[in-house]
Structures are given as C-alpha cells and as structure tokens.
Amino acid sequence: MTSTALTLFNSLTRKAEVFAPVHEGEARVYSCGPTVYNYPHIGNMRAYVFADMLGRLLTWKGYRLTHVINITDVGHLTDDADQGEDKMEKMAAARSQSIWDIAEHYTQAYWQDVAALNIRQPARWTIATDYIDSMIAFAERIAPQHCYELDSGLYFDVSTVADYGRLARAVTDEGEGRIEAVEGKRNAADFAIWRKTPAGETRQMEWDSPWGRGAPGWHLECSVMSGEVLGFPFDIHTGGIDHREIHHPNEIAQNQAFCGCGGESAMSLADPANSGARIWMHNNFLVERSGKMSKSSGEFLRLQLLVDKGYHPLAYRMLCLQAHYRSELEFSWDGLGAALVRLKRLLAAARNVIDAVEDGAALADVQAAVTHPRLAPLLDKFDAALSDDLNTPVALTVLEEAVALKKVDAAQMGALVAAMMSALGLPLADREALRVAPKGASITEDEIEDILARRKAARADRDFALSDALRDELAAKGVDVMDGDPLGWEWQLA
C-alpha cells in the first residue's frame, strides 16, 4: 500500500513542489472568485472546476480543507491594470439598474453553475463589500511605508517591496505599455489600492476613508479577504493564468508590505511564504478557435446554453477533467459531445458495481477497504496520477480501467469506484439523468417513451411498417432511435 507524495506546480517558483502544509493536517486555500457584473462563461467555470478538483484532492490526501472563494462586487476595472471604469458601475449604468441588484442577480447565476458542475461549497464565500472596513484598516497599516496619495487615489509604490512581479512572466514592453500613465505615479506598475470618487461625481458604491470618499482597488480586496479569513501565510492561492500577470503580483506586493509590518522593504520572495501564500496555482484558459473566451468581449458561452442544446452540465466538467489544468483547452461542440458519451459510458459501468457514493472519501479509508490484489494497484495508480500536480486525464483512464474489471470482489470494487468518482466530483447518477431535452425540442421524454413502447409492441407483432413509421415520427421530432446500442440506450437527441 503506497501513498504518493502530493506535488503541486507553484507558479511563483515555477517548480513542482511537495505540498507541506503551514498548519499540520490542514490545507487552507483561497480562490479568486468572479466579478459579478455579468453571467459567468464556461471559461470562468473552468477556473472553479480546477479549484474544486484541488480541494477534493486535498481532502483525498487527508487534509482538513478550508476553502474560501470571494465574490467581487466592487472595484474590478475594465482593465486589470489601473485603467478604465469599474465593471460593476459600467453595467449598472448601461442597464439603469442598481449595482446591488446586478451583483445579487449574477452571484445567484454563478452559484447555479457551481451547483450544476458539482463544485463543492467552499467553507466561506467572501463578498468584497462586506470587508470594506478591513480593507481600509489594511491600507492604513501599509500606507505610511508603501503608498502615496494622488488626486485620483492612494497608490502602492511597487519599488518598496522586494522582487516585485516575480510571479509574472517576463515583463514585456507591451505589458508595461498596458499600465496607464497616471500623472504623478512613481513607477509604471504602481496601482491604486483606493480610488477616490472624482470631484462632482457620485458612484453607486462608495465609502468614506482617510483618503476621501471612494472605493477599494480590486487587488486590495483579495489580499484582505484571504489574509483575514485564512491568516498569512496560508497554503494555496488559485486563479486563472491572466491573474498571474497583474492581479496576483499586486496582491503579493500588498501581502509583503502587510506582513513586513514595520515596513522593511526586504521580504524577499525567495521564501514564497512572504507572498502571503506558499503556493500560487493557475489554471490555463478555455479557448475557442477565435481566441480566449471573455466576458468583457460581450459574446460568450454560458453553461445554460450548453444545457439548452441538450448537453448535461456534467459533460462540461468531464471535458475539463480530460485536460490537465495547466494546458490550454479548446472548446468545441464535438469535444463536448464526446465528453458526454464518455461520461455516460462511465456512469453506466459504474452503476453496475455500486449503488451509493459518499462524497469526500479520504485515501487512507479507501486503502483500508480495498486490499484485493487486482484493485489495490489501481488505487495506487489513481492516487499517483492525482498527486502528480492533479493529473486528472490519467486519473480518469485509471477509473475506466477499474470499472472494466470483471470477476473481482464486488464490495471492494464498489468501494474503489465510488471513492474514485467522488475524488473526481462525478456523481453516481443514473445515466438517464444525463438526458437533457434541448430547449427547442418539440417532444417530451414521456412522449418519446410512449412512442418507443408502441414501437416495441409493433416489432413484437412483426408489424415492421408501423415500427418504421414510429421511428420516422421520432426522427422528425429530433430523436434518433438507437437499436442495439451496447449500453442499452434506446434513444438520443439528434
């Protein structure tokens, strides 16, 4: 019986590192959450499937997990650097709606997608506007040694911390060029941690502060929420790779300033713990042939659109698991269809071996239950794949190997498969539950079943003309009859 050491790729050191928790037996994780000015697109949701898989893996390895995901309802500008308008204010103005209503609506929409993708609830959802007092206190503490005030706000001087930008890839001319030249900024990369409301303007969301009325900067929010709830240094900070370039380097600079207390500029990042988190992890993008999927570009795919077209949301989870989180993943409808078929086959096979699945099994418990000489090696292989920086594509193939085994101890087989499914966040639903009628379908499932029953009766009577006519009737309504399907599926949506 072996248990592979857990290694995770740390973007800060650019190395795979053996996970060593800050607090014995615990894992504390913070994931940058969505800015709730619009529906999440499926690219955004890849970031949360990844964060969920990481959490499940830590549970699997026996750590007590505290996972925090924030909801950004203020402060995220249309450009991640210091440029543009607040995304929330902009949407509220365009819709002539209250910003609070917008935040509420899109937070609920995001949570629906979270549930549909079987993403576990974190220990805490932190809502940025609930932490304004803490943000002001944090800014007050670092301001004397690390910040300066301009007409437009309180700015962080990046030259006051060591190794600024180490997390980002090489700073290119283009990257520097994206950072707005605010008059009076000491360094191009300096950023506002508090934005003052310009004279004569009012914002829907603004608060009093020692630097005047205004709103916190987006980078400040995540430093404050992660530090307050998890304590610096915590174990792992996650986000999409776009955050590796600006948002996370800025969070790190603030955390260095905050943890340096007296304002010493050193706090070298040679010790990753000085960054506020020991490990920084980033999922790669979901892309379309035309490029990165983006909310701000206006046109994007929502999970609901996949469902409207007849794909169960878990087909999308499967699509994500089929790729390593650090690889770019290209979305295509064919790819999604193939992921759905693979998931159906897996569920059909898994249902044969188990009836119930318990969420959140830990490896040690499964090892105690699964000792059979043909099963235990598969458990080791599965554990080794996940422990190797979350290699879900390989873990999936090991699960498929397990469900295909014949004539092994049924109880142990059941325990093994159930544990693997739960580690991957795949529920043991009946495969029928994956059937989703497309929005435009002109027929209900009951009607389909009714016609199929009549067709079966016709075939039993050797009335093939009627049987063919009934099949044509279904085809006209967008349903393919699947005679002789090896898994016993009787129909599928065309």
Ligand X SMILES: Nc1ncnc2c1ncn2[C@@H]1O[C@H](COP(=O)(O)OP(=O)(O)OP(=O)(O)O)[C@@H](O)[C@H]1O
**Across-strand partners of 238?**
31, 281
Q: Which of 242, 308, 400, 445 binds ligand X (CB under 6 A)?
A: 242
Examine residue 295 and tell whether it contacts ligand X (CB under 6 A).
yes
By C-beta, is 288 or 409 nearer to ligand X? 288
Q: Which of 294, 155, 127, 124 is nearest to 217 (CA)?
A: 155
Are 139 and 221 in contact by the 8 Å Cβ rule? The answer is: no
DSSP one-letter string for 74-138: S--BSSSSS-S-BHHHHHHHHHT--HHHHHHHHHHHHHHHHHHTTPPPPSEEEEGGGGHHHHHHH
By C-beta, is 51 or 222 nearer to Zn ion? 222
Annotated ligand binding at 344? The verdict is no
Size of the site for ligand X (CB under 6 A): 19
By C-beta, is 296 or 371 nearer to Zn ion? 296
Q: Residue 227 touches which of Zn ion, ligand X, none (CB < 5 to 8 A by kind)?
A: none
Instruction: Give the range of 38-46, 97-105, 309-317, 438-446 binding ligand X by CB under 6 A.
Output: 38-46
Q: Residue 222 touches which of ligand X, Zn ion, none (CB < 5 to 8 A by kind)?
A: Zn ion
Spatial CB neighbours of 432, under 8 Å, sequence gap ≥ 6: none
Q: Residue 220 touches which of ligand X, Zn ion, none (CB < 5 to 8 A by kind)?
A: none
Examine residue 88 and tell whether it contacts ligand X (CB under 6 A).
no
For residues 143 and 152, give the distance between their C-alpha atoms in angstroms, rounded to a whole number: 15
Which two structure tokens, joined as six digits, stand for 222? 């995540």
β-pairing, 234-240 with 286-288?
A: unpaired
Q: Residue 154 touches which of ligand X, Zn ion, none (CB < 5 to 8 A by kind)?
A: none
Annotated ligand binding at 201? The verdict is no
Q: Which parts of 261-290 interact with ligand X (CB under 6 A)?
A: 283, 285-286
β-pairing, 147-150 with 153-156?
A: antiparallel
Q: Which of 47, 91, 132, 222 binds Zn ion (CB under 5 A)?
A: 222
Q: Residue 103 touches which of Zn ion, ligand X, none (CB < 5 to 8 A by kind)?
A: none
For residues 388 and 372, give the distance between their C-alpha atoms in angstroms, rounded to a whole number: 24
Examine residue 2 and tell whether it contacts ligand X (CB under 6 A).
no
Examine residue 32 and tell whether it contacts Zn ion (CB under 5 A).
yes
| C-alpha distances out from residue 159 to 41, 99, 163, 190, 257, Å | 36, 35, 9, 8, 11
Q: Is the N-terminal amide bond of 34 cis, ω within 30° of 0?
A: no
**Across-strand partners of 70?**
126
Q: Which parts of 44-73 interact with ligand X (CB under 6 A)?
A: 44, 46-47
Size of the site for Zn ion (CB under 5 A): 2
φ, ψ for residue 193, nearest 5 deg:
-100, -15
CB of 153 to ligand X, least distance (A): 21
CB of 222 to Zn ion, least distance (A): 3
Examine residue 306 and tell whether it contacts ligand X (CB under 6 A).
no
- Residues lying near ligand X in the complex (CB under 6 A) are found at 32, 34-35, 43-44, 46-47, 239-240, 242-243, 283, 285-286, 292-296
